[in-house]
Chains A and B, each alone.
Chain A
Amino acid sequence: MSETRYTYPAMALHWLMAVLLIGLFGLGLYMSDLPLSPDKLKLYSWHKWAGVSAFLLVLLRLAWRVGHPPPALPAVMPRWQKLAAHGVHHLAYLLMVAIPLSGWLMSSAKGFQTVYFGVVPLPDLLSKDKPLGELLESVHGFLNYGLAALVVAHVAAALKHQLLDRDDLLARMLPLRRNR
């Protein structure tokens, strides 16, 4: 019998990133409208540090996934649902890589270097260029709304499987449940 659940490290990475990304999204929305203050500078730094962490985690997650492919979707699932599920997952991975990169590039273009935890300076990939910085800020926001939409679809699909289809698909990602 083939494995029907994700591996524990894959589960850990999934839930850790879920919390981190939702927090990052909320913090990003909140902080960008604040008037300039020491607190704003702190929040921006924390957002950047958490964003770099998310970037490192998604790379780790991709590397893990290459060695540990996810369990196959149930054979009874309609083809379109499988395609949609794969499409959403691939796009989400793409955005999870692209979003922190866009944030990093935007910081460089705005002239604010990213220094991880205030200790490890990341190289500036772009030199200071205000219009480019503003463009990248829009890109960063746009990509985030894209990922947020995917997350909504992802959660809605999971709930649909759990509550309507009652196929217990969610157990694949829950560490505390027994294998069926």
Chain B
Amino acid sequence: MKPLRLTLAAILLASGSAQAVEFKQFLAEQSTLQFVSRQMGVPVDGHFRKFAATLAFDPTRPAAATAKLELDLASVDAGSLDADGEVVGKPWFNVKAYPTATFVSSAIRPLGGDQYELTGKLTIKGKTQQVSAPFTFRQAGGNGVFDGTFVLKRLDFALGDGIWSDLSTVANDVQIRFHIVAAAAAGGK
């Protein structure tokens, strides 16, 4: 019995290390960063056209993984031309003073199966908040695919100052959905 278990363990370890692939190379073309705001109770889709991620994720060692994201706020598509013009202005992103939003991970925790939890610091408009987002990881065509979602409270980042701070027209909750695709870096360790 004991030798069998050891053998099984050895096989698992061996296969595990054989599969150990680290996903590091961000594929911008295949990745998306979307958000859903609620205006007068109606969900409105938006997305960012330009963002870049720097990541290192080995599914066999998730705790060692890191992720960093840089987002060009002026590349926003807020759902309409009207909104695109408004949201880059002073009451919202104020892209002249704060062109970039960043996220830097502090911990990635496996939740079982293909589920993980990402925690880190999100900085928008000079304001930094800790955020957590559950995400799933799967491999597709040799690439790693990360899909996650979390809810951001826009007023935590002073998004929508002045007249826009009225939450009955544009809700405080903004749902963020990320779909990050990364290619494997050469060879497992």
Interface residues of A (CB under 8 A from B): 36-38, 41-42, 44-45, 110-115, 118-119, 121, 128
Contact between chains at B42 and A112 (CB < 8 Å)? yes
Please tell me if the beta carbons of A38 and B166 are within 8 angstroms of each other in the complex.
yes
Is residue B44 contacting chain A, with contact meaning CB distance below 8 A?
yes
Given A37-B163, A38-B163, A42-B169, A115-B82 contact (CB < 8 Å)? no
Listed by A's residue number, 9 A-B pairs whose Cβ atoms lie within 8 Å are: A36-B82, A41-B39, A42-B40, A45-B42, A111-B44, A112-B42, A112-B80, A113-B42, A113-B43
Docked complex Cα distance between A116 and B82 (Å):
23
Chain B 27-61, CB-CB to A under 8 Å as 1, else 0, gives 00000000000011111110000000000000000
CA distance A38 to B44 in the complex (A): 15
Q: Which residue of B lies closest to A40 (CB)?
A: B82
Find chain B residues with CB under 8 A from A113 CB: 42-43
Q: What's the least CB distance linking A124 to chain B, in Å?
A: 11
A111 near B45 with CB under 8 A, answer yes
Tell me, in angstroms, the Cα distance from A112 to B45 when the chains sit together: 9
Shortest Cβ distance from residue A157 to the other chain B in the assembled complex, whole angstroms? 39
Query: Do the beta carbons of A110 and B80 come within 8 Å of each other?
Result: yes
Minimum distance in angstroms from A128 CB to a CB of chain B: 7
The CA-CA distance from A112 to B82 in the complex, in Å, is 13
Contact call B85/A45, Cβ cutoff below 8 A = no
Closest 6 CB pairs of A and B: A118-B41, A38-B169, A45-B40, A36-B82, A36-B86, A115-B42
Check: B83 CB closer than 8 A to any chain A CB: yes
Smallest beta-carbon distance B115→chain A, Å: 30
**B79: A residues at CB distance < 8 A:** 111-112
Closest residue to A113 on the B side, CB-wise?
Answer: B42
Residues of chain B lying within 8 A (CB to CB) of residue A36: 82-83, 85-86
Q: Report how far A110 CA is from B82 CA in the complex, Å.
A: 12
Contacting pair A118 B40 (CB below 8 A): yes
A170–B86 alpha-carbon span in the complex (Å):
50
CA distance A124 to B86 in the complex (A): 25
Whether B169 pairs with A41 at a CB distance below 8 angstroms is yes
Contacts of B41 in A (CB 8 A): 115, 118-119
